[in-house]
Amino acid sequence: MKTTGSKAATGGRAYSVWVANRTNFMILGFGILVLIIFIVFPFFGATSWTRRLVEFFCYLALAQLWNLMLGYAGMISAGQQGFIGIGAYTLWLFSDVIGINPLISVVFAAVGGVIIALPAAALVFKLKGGYLAIGTWVIAEVMRLIVANIKRTGGGSGITVQATSEMAQKLGADGWMPLVYWWALASAVIAIVVTYLLLRSRTGLALKAIRDNDLAAESSGVNLWRTKLYTYLIAGGGCAVVGAIEAMYSLRVHPGSAFSINWTAYLIFITVIGGIGTIEGPIIGTVIFYVLRETTSQYGTWYFIALGLLAIVVTVWSPAGIYGWVLKKTGFNFFPLQRKLRFSEAGGTPTPIASGGEEVAG
């Protein structure tokens, strides 16, 4: 991929701007192959594995969205569980109360998440940093308490997602789980694609350079408030989708688990361990998190203590996470976000102006 630049600026030498090199294209091809395998997986894989992958892709989607808010818009949210819960209950609302097919109700869950995110943003954006984080937590608590206090939703003890359960029973586990799986896979892929496109856009580039400096952002022509708002809305809708998927997966909605702060704990762990601000980071983090979960979660509180300690240790010693460490050592991106400048000699093939693969422009 390249775009040509002006001759005048570089004193007569033509230059082009490259985003990806050939290796990146190979990776892209490989990635598409992997994606195809995942799409057809339920046809030849065991249902127990399909179930595991549903959870995996859910966490991956959540982590990408949280990472988007943090790495792209500089916001720390401790309240995404609010949208997860809204998504779950919206699915219940549309499939059980209104009577729409649950697989289609997922879309309404996304809409519900975005609609709720609007007033939430209006309130929460008045705060900054750590206080913003607690503010989002309060909003999530408000949603939880309201839902838990309404009898119709089953109140504090939750309620079965009736219509979905019936559909699941009719199709049987082998028939039902793949449908949930494809929704989970779709949300993870969409989250990754959206994040990649946003980070690669001109706004993304500007934001990367001026992360925490509001003044610099405004003067560079980036409307920071609007960028934050759109990011928050996207994340709200995306998390609501995950909540809906979870509801279809467990066939039950319960305020304590749908709105649990544990979601945030998991997200923080995944993103921090993997690496904030990159797309590969949450992928690596989700893998590690999932492996840890499958092997140690029966130890209950010790599992959580280990998560907490690991997050602390990584933040203090390797703030860029595991992928950040890899990036430093190899300089290689699976998802190329940087632009490289290459000059072409008069009439010749473009040669990189920095040898050794160093990038000139970030």
Residue ranges binding another protein (CB under 8 A): 70, 76, 78, 122-123, 126-131, 133-135, 137-139, 141-142, 145-146, 149, 212, 261, 264-265, 268, 272, 276, 301-302, 304-305, 307-312, 315-316, 319
Token output for 341: 């400048």
Comparison of 94 and 323: residue with beta carbon closer to another protein? 323
| Smallest gap from residue 352 Cβ to another protein (A) | 20
CB-CB contact of 220 with 205 (8 Å) = no
Instruction: For residue 57, give both structure tokens.
Output: 């892709």
7 or 328: whose CB is closer to another protein? 328
Q: 218-256: b or e for each residue (b if 16 or more CB lie within 10 Å)?
A: eeeebebeebbbbbbbbbbbbbbbbbbbbbbbebbbbbe
CB of 95 to another protein, least distance (A): 27
CB of 360 to another protein, least distance (A): 15
End-to-end CA distance of the chain: 16
Q: How far is the CB of 280 from another protein (least distance, A)?
A: 19
| Integer Cα distance of 120 and 60 in angstroms | 24
- Rounded to whole angstroms, how far apart are CA atoms 111 and 233? 10
Q: Which is nearer to another protein, 144 or 342 (CB)?
A: 144
Helix (H/G/I), strand (E/B), else coil: 351: strand
Q: Which is nearer to another protein, 58 or 139 (CB)?
A: 139
Nearest-approach distance from CB 75 to another protein, in angstroms: 10
In angstroms, what is the minimal distance from the CB of 262 to another protein? Answer: 9
Say how far residue 26 (Cα) sits from the centre of its chain: 24
Cα separation, 243 vs 237, whole angstroms: 10
Closest to another protein by CB, 44 or 317: 317
Q: How many residues does the chain have?
A: 362
Nearer to another protein, 50 or 227 (CB): 227
To the nearest whole angstrom, how small is the minimum distance from the Cβ of residue 220 to another protein?
20
Q: Which DSSP string do the residues of 8-50 spell out, in sequence order?
A: GGGTT-EEEEES--HHHHHHHHHHHHHHHHHHHHHHHS-HHHH
Closer to another protein by CB, 239 or 307: give it: 307
For the chain, helix (H) and strand (E) counts, in that order, are 14, 6
Comparison of 292 and 311: residue with beta carbon closer to another protein: 311
Give yes or no for a contact between 244 and 109, defined as CB atoms under 8 angstroms apart.
yes
Q: How far is the CB of 264 from another protein (least distance, A)?
A: 8
326, amino acid identity: V
Tell the smallest beta-carbon distance from residue 337 to another protein (Å). 19
Q: Which is nearer to another protein, 312 or 354 (by Cβ)?
A: 312
- Helices marked H in 45-126: 47-67, 80-92, 102-124
